[in-house]
Chain A
Amino acid sequence: MVWLFSVFAFTILMGIPVIFVLGISALAYFVLTGQTQYLLVIPQRMFAGVDQFILLAIPLFVLAGALMDTGGLTRRLLEFANAFVGRFRGGTSLTAIWGSFLFSGISGSAAADAAAMGSVLIPDMKKQGYDVNYAAALIAVASLMDPLIPPSITMIIYGALSGTSIAKLFIGGIVPGALLALSLTAYAVYVAHKRGYPRLAPPSLAQIGRLTLTALPVLFLPVLIVVGIRGGAFTATEAAAIAAIYALVVAAFWYRVLTWAHLRHALIATAVISSAIYLLIAMANIAAFVFALERLPQNIVSGIQQLTDNRVLIILMVNLALLVLGMFLDVAGVLILTVPALVGIGAAIGMDPVHLGVMVTFNTIIGFVHPPLGLCLFIVSGVAKSPIEKVTMQALPMIGIALALLMLIAFVPELVLFLPNLLVK
């Protein structure tokens, strides 16, 4: 085990992509401990890790998001949000939050959200006198709503690994996602008053009507997904297939913005993004095999049980451990390595699997916006052409808000479970 962790630490410090760090560490473990009979298990574990029907929801949701994002649909969604919140002080920052909230319903990944919102809004906000680092930080943290609000790639991976109902996870994420939107709104209003950010002229009722009408087909997609998978009418994969076809039809025939070039971009983006996720799952599945050999999940569970039987303390420790891991690993990597132990701990303290899943999702995605990996911070600081340290400084209070919210949903299960219990039979 020492071998595995030292090779892991060494290769991660070398800056080797996390995908390979996982595989190299596992390979080094087999070779250095003389267990070369397991080398043939490597390809088998890789294949078994990705050859799962439920994972097909990932490319299909990525494609739906990519198609919806073509030809200025993102801008329409933002104009729609702007029609309602633009009139308040700091209007465009509120548009960023609620635009991101709406965008969450068509996309399953925070990175896509941060890139789409950032490229449209950061230049706008800069023009209106916003601190560009604040604008970038706000968009990055707001993009965290994306993996909380259905569809969510992170929840698909969690559901596939733990056997938890993806329909319930999806619906369980809605209230935490909305709470994040509300608390970020409160913070943005406070900042806007303190720094005197502008309000925008409210649009006329006719304009609001027109904007609503154009945004309607985009807004309908998340409703379709949630209605489709609640009660088990569709599997998540089938819902994703319907979402992809729906997005294609809406972009091509309703908005008439889909060109061959857009379609090609969307298909390639789907292949490449899904490939990175699939390879990560394949590699992490080798490392998970090593953990299973060493009975690490069981040892962690019994270790924690020996340490304390205080439920509150255990939940705090789990969250702290996940946050630390999130500093070194990608979300999918953290999930694959920890879910076996997490499910054991959850069962030991009697935590509802859906509550546990939403809490773990919320926790791991915070890694998107904190250094050193912070994928969304990198994306927005790239768009803003501003150093990541400055964006991070502006993001800190908002990361604090996200952490406070994480604690709230960790200790108030009803916030997560209320909706799924109401909607899913």
Chain B
Amino acid sequence: MGPTTMSRHNPRLLRAVSLYLRALHYLAMAGVATLVVVAAMQVFFRYVVGESLFWSEELMRSLMVWIAFLSAGIAYSRGEMLGMRIVVDGLRPSLTAKIDIAGRVLIVIFLLVVAWYGWLFTMRTSEQEAVSLEISLGWLHAAIPVGCLLLAVHVAFADLFRSALPKEETSHSH
């Protein structure tokens, strides 16, 4: 975990990461905006037009799963995932730092295992088709390996990703 212990990051690397984060933010925004539009359309068609859309429900569910797994990295870097810190924060700072690194190693191992089995799961189901959207189920299930892999990178290089987070977005937590 070399890069995480450095206090300063290579400016080019930092720029690349913040570019990636910006893209992720726009994806998340576009995703939520689409979700609201489709949700509104579903209500409109059901209650005003009197004819239910057959594709909206599955689209919204799948979209939100993708948004959730893609935004997980941002959520982690913004400190939205809480743990019980009362014990470790009472220890010597050097010891706390070591425990935190060990904890992050465990998280990364876990996420990589899930990403790998998520990939196998995606491949196995890619022959099947989604119920109303005429695409392979693999496209829906791929949210898990992709999301877990990205999240693993966010956890492994926590410092780098935290300092590359856009300032305006970090100020508005919760």
Contacts and interface: CB of A to CB of B under 8 A. Distances in A.
B82 A373 contact: yes
Given A53-B61, A238-B43, A268-B25, A273 B80 contact: yes
Contact of B62 (A27, A39, A51): A51
19 contacts: A15-B99, A15-B100, A17-B81, A17-B82, A40-B117, A42-B117, A43-B141, A46-B144, A111-B174, A115-B174, A245-B36, A265-B168, A267-B33, A272-B28, A274-B71, A278-B64, A278-B69, A282-B68, A378-B82
B71 A244 contact: no
Nearest to B137: A47
Nearest to A23: B110
A85 to B, nearest CB: 26
Interface of B: 25, 28-29, 31-33, 35-36, 39-40, 42-43, 46, 57, 60-62, 64-65, 67-72, 74-76, 78, 80-89, 99-100, 102-103, 106-107, 110, 113-114, 117-118, 120-122, 124, 140-141, 143-145, 168-169, 172-174
A38 to B, nearest CB: 10
A214 interface: no
A20 B110 contact: yes
Contacts of B173: 115
A56 B60 contact: yes
A51 B61 contact: yes
Contacts of A375: 82
B174 A279 contact: no
Contact of B107 (A24, A115, A237): A24
Contacts, number: 199
A289 interface: no
Contact of A47 (B80, B86, B144, B172): B144
A209 to B, nearest CB: 33
B32 A276 contact: no
Contacts of A378: 82
User: Interface size for chain A: under 10, 10 to 19, 20 to 34, or 35 or more residues?
Assistant: 35 or more
A330 interface: yes
Contact of A16 (B71, B103, B140): B103
A47 B75 contact: no
Interface in A37-66: 39-40, 42-44, 46-47, 50-53, 55-56, 59-60, 63
A60 B33 CA distance: 10
A174 to B, nearest CB: 24
Given A52-B61, A241-B36, A245-B40, A13 B82 contact: no
Contacts of B29: 264, 267-268, 271
Given A241-B39, A271-B28, A27 B75 contact: no
A278 B62 CA distance: 12
A270 B75 CA distance: 11
A84 interface: no
B102 A278 contact: no
Given A11-B106, A27-B113, A60 B81 contact: no
Contacts of A12: 83-84
Given A40-B120, A59-B35, A267-B28, A279 B62 contact: no
Contact of B32 (A39, A43, A112, A267): A267
A275 interface: yes
A43 B118 contact: yes
